[in-house]
Structure 1
Amino acid sequence: MSAGQGRSSVALRGSLRLRLLLGTLVWIAASIAVAGWALGVLFSQHVAMQFHAELNTHLDQLAAHLVVDQSGQPALSVAQSEPRFSRPYSGIYWQIDGLERPQGTALGLLRSRSLWDDVLKVPVDAPLNGEVHQHRIAGPGGARLGAVERAVMPEVAAGQAGNAFRLVVAADERQMLEPVKKFSGMLWLALGLLGLGLGAVAVIQVLVGLAPLRRLFGALAAVRSGDTQKLEGHFPGEVQPLVEEFNSVLAQNAEVVERARTQAGNLAHALKTPLSVIANAANGKDSELARMVSGQVEVARKQIDYHLSRSRAAASVRVPGARTVVLPVLDGLVRVMRRIHVERNLEIVVQPVSQPAVFRGEEQDLQEMLGNLLDNACKWAAQRIEVTLAVVSDELRITLDDDGRGIAEGERERVLSRGERADEQVPGSGLGLAIVEDLARLYGGRVELADSPLGGLRVVLALPSA
């Protein structure tokens, strides 16, 4: 099988619309072909029966009008009523022969004027008295004729010898074939128009019948893009159970995620409380054990924060329909950062947005990522931080620029690693950028570091856009 045939086979198996249309159109074409053939055969048989019935009628009239004179010669008591017998080469003929005369050795005893100088040459098969035989013979001008013949022995006067005569009536077969040909042309034209109409109806029926599936696809796309939390709309009874089951699965999934978040929070509180007690017990003591305990408590806190944030994000990524408008979240975080770093008198500017920026994900995860990025920028900036939002295709890009010292190109990959810090003298856990990097990857996004036009570091957070 060629590559083109393989692709066609895959497309046929993968498309319900194509399979329905192809099956319907093939059935329509086959039905029309069989109907056309059957109607053509029936009409042809009907015309043939009429053709031979007309010949038999003329043959009966010829036999009824046949008489024999005193000399034994045949004659017609009444002329045939069909006017075409009197018109030369009209296409219908009659002839009376004597059976005792060899065929072809002499002209017929009697013949219609339509034969003019020709003779009907009918094969001699010695029909019995009154028996009708059918033949196909050559006629005037080489035309094919359908002929019927009958042998009769008319009554004669007493004492006279009776002779047997053969009566022949023939007609041009074109009188039978031409109506069939015209009928076949009109029949196939009508059936062709009927097929086109049925094909158009089939296409409309398939499109209308599959319209609920297109609406279902649109509803699924709305859930995926975050416009809604469940499938909405009116669907036929055959599709509605599927919609209800899908909505039930979405509700159960959201419940599972919410339960996981609750458990994660409970775990955080359950672990942080003992850690706080241990840390408080070690504080204020200047011993090697106390310093070791304090250091390990801090490491445990970092790991708890990191893994809880990552597990919560991993669960929320699988929730369809989540969407968050970025600007309100960003404005709230900017206000918080201004209060936290009020002593530094930083200028945090959010550039105007040309179009709505919507993140396809959970608000808590967006706050986690933007909060870490803004906090890092505030720690390193000298005076100014600029935040820019942009939507490129289906990607949301959040860019943060600061006028701090920046990070050397060779160090940028390292600072994205978990627990790595650019400067040990600046407070922090070293997990901020790592958490942002992991969360972004879970959503199918990324974090990029570059030189900022302000002189410091540029951080680009790329996320899926709703």
Structure 2
Amino acid sequence: MRIKSLTARVLLLTTVWSTVALVVIGLLISTLYRKSAERGFQDLLRAQLYNVINSVTIGDQGALSGSPQLGDLRFAQPKTGWYWVVEPLGTYTTAPLVSPSLGSALIPVPSVVEAPFDKNYERYYQVTDASGNRVQVAETEVVLDTDGRAARVRVTGNVDVVEDDVRTFSHSLYLALAGFGVGSLIVNALAILYGLKPLDKARAALERIRAGESEQLKGDFPREILPLANEVNALIDSNRRIVERARMQVGNLAHSLKTPIAVLLNEARVLEKSHGELVRSQAEAMQGQVQSYLNRARIAAQRESVLARTDAEPALERLVRVMRRLNVDTEFDLVVSPPHLAVAMEQQDLEETVGNLLENAARFAKSRVRLSAVEAGEDVKGVEASARRHWVELAVEDDGPGLEPDQIREALKRGRRLDESKPGTGLGLSIVTEISNEYQGRLELSRGEWGGLKAKLILPGVTKDVA
């Protein structure tokens, strides 16, 4: 799954790296300590082995004699796994010497092939004694006198001592590393959050621009973010200049075409009826086409601007107030949810689209028209997902006769009027469709719950989250 949060990414990477590093370090230290403990254990057994050798002699009767004092009470306690044994070798036969801890028990001895002697004529191996203890054996063979009488000497130690020591050390080590790891993650998290704090400030500044509260990305940013802030401010300034230049050109073009079209319309009134009607209709079509393409040019120049923002409630209230004055016999309802809903388009474009829909609804309504504006969320079927992340749904519904599906298709064609008895040019719905399309939205017509026509506009909204 792709993580979109920069903070979460850094925290995840540091957590994974710290965990892996601490686990590897813990295993490495534990392994090194085990090797050191095993080497120390073997050195201890070797020292005890030579203590036994130095304590044993051959008495006057030819018997082995001696009482090794190894300074460890475990050699005197039975079944501890700590034993020493001195056995005669070759033709030298006598009773062996054993530690009190071994008693009459025997220690299993592997063959020299299985556990060979080293260059010091010593060998070390592990066996299990009669009591079930795992013991490490240190063994060597020595000549005891000038007559060549020899003996085999063994000293054993319980391996569980080493295992317990390593286990205790590892437990303490892992606890210490775990505490260090948790502390490091907390410190890293605080450092990352503190380090990324300027990005939160930049996001808040962008939100203020999106909300129309500021026109520049303002703030005390660090060196790493300051170039980005400057580029954003330069982009906003460039965008604003493009919008102003486009508006000026639109105004100039509209002014230059206004007079010729007015002259044509005036001349049409004095011409013969047949010719006058033709000239008038063509002039009106020219006027509509010019206005339509001027609107397209103006919208294309500023539709991607972060400064295009209109608060829905006050704009729609003005439209409804005007419609109530013009249609005193019709009831107009307005619903805006949430109250501070904003649309990412110019106010005059919003008023033109909704105004056309309200005029159509008032023209065919029996007694009631409802205008609603609500949030539509981020995933809207039929709208480009990459264009905007937030959408607003505006709906105009009346209690008139409504339209059938084939009539809806016909009504959306430019200049088509289904009812010639009603005033109008047939361009209203076409203009609404063109403007909504330019903002990458759409217009839908259907039958409403009152039985009349329901016109639904999906338009880009202003989201508070621009991160």
TM normalised by structure 1 equals 0.72
Q: Which amino acid aligns with 1:55?
A: L
Does residue 391 (structure 1) correspond to residue 391 (structure 2)? The answer is: no
Alignment of 1:5-20 (within 5 A): 11-12=1-2, 20=10
1:107–1:119 Cα contact (<8 Å) kept: no
Q: Which runs of no fewer than 5 residues in structure 2 stay unpaired?
A: 378-391, 463-467
- Is the alpha carbon distance of 1:95 and 1:408 closer, same or farther for their aligned partners in structure 2, counting shifts above 3 Å? closer
Equivalent residue runs for 1:371-450 within 5 Å: 371-373=355-357, 386=369, 388-391=371-374, 393=376, 395-399=392-396, 401=398, 409=404, 411-422=407-418, 428-443=424-439, 444-446=441-443, 448=445
Could you tell me which residue of structure 1 aligns to residue 386 of structure 2?
none
Question: What displacement does 1:72 show?
Answer: 5.0
**Cα separation, partners in 2 of 1:178 and 1:259, compared to 1, 3 Å:** same
Q: State the Cα deviation string for residues 375-427 of structure 1 (Å, max 9, x = none).
A: 55676789x77554443545343536488xx6764655434432233555765
Query: Secondary structure of 1:419's partner?
Result: coil
Aligned length: 438
Displacement, 1:271? 1.7
Pairing partner for 2:156 from 148, 170, 178: 170
Q: 1:224 to 1:133 in 2, by over 3 A?
A: same
Question: How far 1:16 sits from its partner (Å)?
Answer: 5.7
Q: Could you report, residue by residue, the CA deviation over 1:255-293 in whole angstroms, capped at 9, with x for unpaired residues? A: 323322221121111122233344445653448766654
Change (3 A) 1:304 1:170: closer
- Provide Cα deviations, 1:152-191, integer angstroms capped at 9, x if missing partner: 55677xxxx5644444333333333332344344444554
- The alignment partner of 1:397 has SS state of strand
CA distance in 2, matches of 1:114, 1:428: 117
Residue from 96, 101, 115 that aligns with 1:114: 101
Q: Distance in 1 between matches of 2:454 and 2:110?
A: 107
Q: One-letter code of the match for 1:397?
A: L
- The alignment yields a C-alpha RMSD, in angstroms, of 4.6
Contact 1:325 1:358 in 2 (8 A): yes
Between the aligned partners of 1:43 and 1:377, the Cα distance in structure 2 is 86
State which of 17, 20, 45 in structure 2 corresponds to 1:30. Answer: 20
**1:368 counterpart residue number:** 352
**Structure 2 CA distance for partners of 1:165 and 1:251, relative to 1, 3 Å:** same
Provide the secondary structure at the position in 1 that maps to 2:101. helix
Does residue 54 of the first structure (1) align with residue 50 of the second (2)? no
Change (3 A) 1:246 1:348: farther
- Structure 1 counterpart of 2:443, which letter? R
AA paired with 2:228? L
Give the distance between the partners of 1:184 and 1:203, measured in 2 at CA: 28
| 1:194-218 per-position Cα deviation (integer Å, ceiling 9, x unaligned) | 5566566666766666676677667
Gaps of 5+ in 1: 1-10
* 1:116-195 equivalence runs, <5 A: 116-118=103-105, 131=120, 133-136=122-125, 138=127, 139-141=129-131, 143-153=133-143, 161=147, 163-188=149-174, 190-191=176-177
Counterparts of 2:251 and 2:315, CA distance in 1:
22
Using a 3 Å threshold, how does the CA distance of structure 1 residues 392 and 118 change in structure 2: closer, same or farther?
Answer: closer
CA-CA distance at 1:365 after TM superposition: 0.7
1:117 aligned counterpart, secondary structure: coil
Compared with structure 1, are the counterparts of its residues 189 and 142 closer, same or farther at alpha carbon in structure 2 (3 Å cutoff)?
Answer: same
The answer to whether the 8 A contact 2:330-2:365 is kept is no
Structure with bigger gyration radius? 1
CA apart distance, 1:363? 0.7
**In the aligned structure 2, how far is the partner of 1:392 from the partner of 1:417?**
28
CA distance in 2 between partners of 1:330 and 1:12 (Å): 40
**Structure 2 residue identity aligned to 1:368:** E
Q: Which has the higher helix share?
A: 1
- Inter-CA distance 315–461: structure 2 relative to 1 (3 Å threshold): farther
The 1:434–1:69 alpha-carbon spacing in structure 2 relative to 1, beyond 3 Å, is closer
Alignment-derived partner of residue 32 in structure 2: 42
What's 1:312 paired with? 298
Is the Cα contact below 8 Å between 2:303 and 2:345 reproduced in 1? yes
Query: What amino acid does structure 1 have at the position aligned with 2:33?
Result: F
Residues 228, 391 of structure 1: alpha-carbon distance in 2 compared, 3 angstrom cutoff: farther
C-alpha offsets along residues 232-265 of structure 1, whole Å, 9 cap, x if unaligned?
6666544443344334333322332332222112
CA distance in 2, matches of 1:218, 1:389: 30
Report the secondary structure of 2:348's partner residue: helix
Is the alpha carbon distance of 1:19 and 1:447 closer, same or farther for their aligned partners in structure 2, counting shifts above 3 Å?
closer
- Percent of residue pairs identical: 33
C-alpha distance in 2, partners of 1:365/1:55?
Answer: 95
User: What CA distance in whole angstroms lies between the structure 2 residues aligned with 1:46 and 1:33?
Assistant: 20
The aligned runs of 1:65-464 (5 Å cut-off) are 65-76=55-66, 81-101=71-91, 107-108=95-96, 110-118=97-105, 131=120, 133-136=122-125, 138=127, 139-141=129-131, 143-153=133-143, 161=147, 163-188=149-174, 190-191=176-177, 237-280=223-266, 283-286=269-272, 292-330=278-316, 332-333=318-319, 346-347=328-329, 350-351=332-333, 353=335, 355=337, 356=339, 358-373=342-357, 386=369, 388-391=371-374, 393=376, 395-399=392-396, 401=398, 409=404, 411-422=407-418, 428-443=424-439, 444-446=441-443, 448=445, 460=455, 462-464=457-459
For residues 293-329 of structure 1, the C-alpha deviation after alignment (integer angstroms, 9 at most, x for no partner) is 4443333222212222333334443223433234543
